[in-house]
Amino acid sequence: MTTPSNEKPPALLPSARAIVLASASAARRRMFADAGVPVGLDPANLDEAELKRSMAAEKVSPRDMADFLAELKATKVSHRHRGALVVGADQVLVLGDLVFDKPADRDHAKAHLRALRGRRHKLISAVVVCENGAPVWRHIAEATLEMRPFSDQFLDAYLAAAGDAVLSSVGAYQLEGLGLQLFNKVEGDHFTILGLPLLAVLDYLRTRGAIGS
């Protein structure tokens, strides 16, 4: 029996302890919900764009950038939820020596996609779990994607159809939807591409007895 699309799937087992997602990301929230894992939501509300610009100016590597921001989010929120396991995540897109952030508007999204068109880029997704204000676990995963050389006409049609949803992704695409048509090759874990290496997270939560094993 399938779960109706407008309903959340039931949790497989009640969580043994509180799990909090330090994110406002709809994709990350949906991943936990689809996996049947109940989580609380408490976004860290950081100025991620400014932090990334500052770290880029200091020549911080994209991998360290994602890891730092994931830890910063989880640590900040963890102070507000004593005893809970707080999950912080961040993702950066790397094209050559350039690090991309989420586009500010559709014009920026169009520029991002033009830069990525016909080229390979890398997504780096980091996740850190904090407990009582301190990190207790971390994981970093990478995926490589290749965009096909689509036409300007297709690009305009894609942006019109996708709407403001393109602003929620660092690459201005959503691989789980219309954005799939932008690519001709994808190498890496699906959840890593969506911004959270979920299988590794679930495995850690089982070792802590937070979800059923």
Cross-strand pairs, 146: 120, 185
Contact between 33 and 8 (Cβ < 8 Å): yes
Q: Does the annotation count 152 as an active-site position?
A: no
Exactly one of 42, 64, 67, 90 is catalytic; which is it? 90
- Enumerate long-range contacts of 115-119, CB under 8 Å, 24 or more apart: 116/147, 116/171, 117/147, 117/148, 117/149, 117/150, 117/155, 118/147, 118/148, 118/149, 119/95, 119/146, 119/147
CA atoms within 13 A on the CB side of 205: 29
**CA distances from residue 41 to 24, 29, 86 in whole angstroms, order as listed:** 7, 8, 10
- Any idea which residues carry the catalytic annotation? 90
